[in-house]
């Protein structure tokens, strides 16, 4: 099964350079992110570190020749020009040709489009149009044709993938029943279902909805997968997003084991920090939700939602039972010691 790991460019600055990635347990690495220039062409996102990172990624492929690397374009911060890129046949061609030239120049095996989001959502400054729904399909068609033409010339296949939202709006604002024909696969971002924008503590990536009473909006990983499937996207081409990070909430009411309580102050937290600073602390108790299949920690005032080996194995069982194509990780630096990756790999590829 595919295991796609996003590598965030900026994590090299804190010491997690690409050579630290355990590529033996990955099939694909998506490099996040490239930007879009004012000329509507792909451009380096972090020019001060990108070339160093690209070199390290290409060295990894010498060690693991089956490993594929993709340049991921956009993300939350740099999706502002996608609507303009997709707007016309000419702008789509300009962008597509620039992507082909980029992957040829820097040694990538394909392109991953992370448009957050067509039609609505994303940063308030993003350009957005109702026509994005159709134009997204046409953009992917243009990219597929450009990649295939280059692939024919080079005697190889180039990959095209996307990262897509887990909320109900993404299937509504895209043509999932049509775009899959242009994609090798899609990565569904089944995390940030709850977070610091909510008024009450909750789970980052609950596998299933539960019957608890809460004022938060109810949604789950399973709900997101079903929404994509019902919109016509084949599950065998869908990679389930798994977060290697969680959320830590402060000043939480000491009630209901900290769950669904008001709080003051919250931040994301990588798994390695949860493991090193909190898991073995005598002040914190670990709980596991029997319906949502995810853990949390609570000490009476601090609530932490995260993933652990048990929740990972529930998700790998889910991937296999639904006939999905594999898993996607955001993002690799959250687990530099490979603890979660070990369980993810073995859950999908049992001995």
Q: How far is CA 239 from CA 1, 225, 231, 270, 321, in A?
A: 9, 10, 16, 21, 13
For residue 329, give the H/E element and its range.
strand 326-330
Catalytic residues: 116
Q: How far apart are CA 261 and CA 337, in angstroms?
A: 32
Contact assessment for residue 130 and residue 155, using Cβ atoms and an 8 Å cutoff: no
DSSP code, position 262: B
Q: How far apart are CA 204 and CA 193, in angstroms?
A: 5
How many H helices and E strands in the chain?
A: 10, 14
For residue 92, give the H/E element and its range.
helix 89-106
Q: How far apart are CA 30 and CA 73, in angstroms?
A: 10
Tell whether the torsion through CA atoms of 184, 190, 192 and 198 is positive or negative: positive
Those residues whose C-beta lies under 8 Å from the C-beta of residue 268, and which sit 6 or more positions away, are: 195, 196, 245, 246, 247, 248
On the CB side of 320, CA atoms within 13 Å amount to 14
Q: How far is CA 88 from CA 38, 93, 181, 344, in A?
A: 16, 9, 21, 41
Cα–Cα nearest to 96, from 173, 152, 45, 148: 148
Cα–Cα nearest to 74, from 127, 46, 112, 106: 112
Q: How far apart are CA 317 and CA 349, in angstroms?
A: 11
Residue tagged 């997690």 (tokens): 16
């Amino acid at each position: 099964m595919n295991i796609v790991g996003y590598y965030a460019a900026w994590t090299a600055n804190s010491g997690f350079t690409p050579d630290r990635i355990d590529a033996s347990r990955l099939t694909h690495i998506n490099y996040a992110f490239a930007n879009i220039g004012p000329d509507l062409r792909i451009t380096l996102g972090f020019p001060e570190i990108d070339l160093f990172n690209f070199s390290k990624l290409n060295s990894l492929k010498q060690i693991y020749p089956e490993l594929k690397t993709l340049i991921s374009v956009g993300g939350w911060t740099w999706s502002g020009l996608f609507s303009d890129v997709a707007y016309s046949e000419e702008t789509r061609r300009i962008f597509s040709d620039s992507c082909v030239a980029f992957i040829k120049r820097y040694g990538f095996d394909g392109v991953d489009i992370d448009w957050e989001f067509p039609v609505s959502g994303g940063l308030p400054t993003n350009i957005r149009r109702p026509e994005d729904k159709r134009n997204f399909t046409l953009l992917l068609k243009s990219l597929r044709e450009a990649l295939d033409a280059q692939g024919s010339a080079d005697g190889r296949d180039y990959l095209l993938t996307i990262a897509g939202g887990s909320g109900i709006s993404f299937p509504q604002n895209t043509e999932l029943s049509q775009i899959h024909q242009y994609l090798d696969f899609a990565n569904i971002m089944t995390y940030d279902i709850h977070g610091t924008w909510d008024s009450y503590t909750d789970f980052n990536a609950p596998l299933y909805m539960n019957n608890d009473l809460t004022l938060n909006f109810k949604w789950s990983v399973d709900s997101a997968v079903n929404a994509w499937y019902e919109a016509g996207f084949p599950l065998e081409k869908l990679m389930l997003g798994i977060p290697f990070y969680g959320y830590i909430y402060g000043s939480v009411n000491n009630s209901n084991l900290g769950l669904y309580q008001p709080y003051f102050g919250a931040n994301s937290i990588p798994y390695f920090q949860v493991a090193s600073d909190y898991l073995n602390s005598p002040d914190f108790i670990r709980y596991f939700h029997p319906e949502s299949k995810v853990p949390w920690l609570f000490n009476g005032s601090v609530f932490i939602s995260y993933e652990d080996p048990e929740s990972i194995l529930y998700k790998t069982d889910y991937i296999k039972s639904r006939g999905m194509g594999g898993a996607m990780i955001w993002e690799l630096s959250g687990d530099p010691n490979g603890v979660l990756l070990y369980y993810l790999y073995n859950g999908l590829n049992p001995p």
